[in-house]
Structure 1
Amino acid sequence: MEKKVPYSEFGYKVFYKIRPALKKLLKINVVGLENIPLTGGCILAANHRSHLDPPVLNIISPRPIIFLAKKELFEVPILGWIIKKAGAIPVKRDNRDLSTIKKAISLLKEGYVIGIFPEGTRARPGEFRKPQPGVGYLIEKAKVPVIPILVEGTDKILPVKSKFPKLFKYNIDVIIGKPINFEGISSYEHVAEKVMHEIKKLKEVKRDG
């Protein structure tokens, strides 16, 4: 019996056909795409400033990304339907939602890509929030490559509380780092902090570029 994928295959086929147009429309620049593994389970960990972040990451990723998303988003008309079709996993407010973590780990073992936002919610423009310790718990248990990603510009195109994107005015920069080494880190909190530290460091890559 053929294994059923956790997202709409038809939806992703359509999405992949229009990705080049979406990338041009949103003026997305990408650095470090080669750092995303083409096979095997891995976690993509990015900063979060806009509801535009998940689709932008799926636009540039060579593989479908299954995001962990706040449970409340699944109740939003249209958006809730879209993220369900994309295979998103609902996350409760509890940092250590064990059922969510078990599902994410199971998908990682099956070779899928899981996308997370360590801050847990959107940060203010140009800022970073403190990472959630539950992120460290997931990473520690999953034991797969974790790829740090910096996304900048999405908060200008679709700011918090904005209903419509401000297209054509701004660029979006996506900087993808190399897998993080967690050797010697002793606690979930420190693992989460390490992830955010590596994401912030990618600002230097952008500046040098």
Structure 2
Amino acid sequence: MNKRLYHAGQFVCRMFFRLFYRVEIIGKENIPSDRGVLMCSNHINNLDPPLVGAFLKRETRFMAKAELFEAPVLKKLLPKLGAFPIRRGTSDRQAMRTGLGLLKERELVGVFPEGTRSKTGRLGDGLSGVGFFALRSEADVIPCAVIGSYKPFSRIKLIYGEPLNMQPLRENKASPEQSTKAIMSGIQALLDEHKTS
């Protein structure tokens, strides 16, 4: 990861969002500064990753679909920005090892559990790999919600929730599917709480 490049890109993204949208950020204080964090967000637009990471002091290591790393420019740029690939629809062991390693090193890993953008704007089902990360690491699991249409100059809410209590699931050796369901419930709770407020 090239931290200088990352923070330069982060600055550009902040300026972009402040110029073209009315961004309201809630709950940044919920993200610990010195622990591994698995940040799980809903996914409604291609601009979600830069938005979710643009206003945080910590670098976000996003998990991104492997197809992006095959594009001529992105295949060189994304690794420098700290992103790592995952092949959707498969059991990508390399991605799992990479993600768990980052969490063990107290990094902030950003994932979109649905695996793809929602076509309806509603939260879809989460993939079990996210639950695997939560169970196999000691990272804080932070639900995140993006609310808005991304129409120019419209209002967008970005909410970082309080850490979810994953310890009972870890102690009871829950399945990745059960863990993912708990995470998706946390995201949905943020959407329900903030969508009309």
2:16 aligns to what? 22
Superposition pairs for residues 105-184 of structure 1, below 5 Å?
A: 105-153=100-148, 156-157=149-150, 166-168=151-153, 170-184=154-168
Helix, strand or coil at the partner of 2:163: coil
1:115, 1:193 → 2: CA distance? Answer: 17
| TM-score normalised by length of structure 1 | 0.84
| Contact in 1 for aligned 2:10/2:53 (Cα 8 Å) | no
User: Cα–Cα, structure 1 residues 103 and 14, in superposed 2: closer, same or farther, change >3 Å?
Assistant: same
Q: What letter is aligned with 1:191?
A: S
| Contact in 2 for aligned 1:28/1:171 (Cα 8 Å) | yes
| TM-score normalised by length of structure 2 | 0.89
| Contact in 1 for aligned 2:134/2:166 (Cα 8 Å) | no
Q: What letter is aligned with 1:21?
A: M
Helix, strand or coil at the partner of 1:172: strand
1:197, 1:99 → 2: CA distance? Answer: 27
2:99 aligns to what? 104
Gaps of 5+ in 1: 1-6, 158-165
| Contact in 1 for aligned 2:86/2:95 (Cα 8 Å) | yes
2:36 is the counterpart of 1:36: no
| Contact in 2 for aligned 1:95/1:132 (Cα 8 Å) | no
Matched residues, number: 192
Identity rate of aligned residues, in percent? 32
Helix, strand or coil at the partner of 1:21: helix
| Contact in 2 for aligned 1:95/1:134 (Cα 8 Å) | no
1:50, 1:83 → 2: CA distance? Answer: 18
| Contact in 1 for aligned 2:13/2:50 (Cα 8 Å) | no
User: Cα–Cα, structure 1 residues 27 and 41, in superposed 2: closer, same or farther, change >3 Å?
Assistant: same
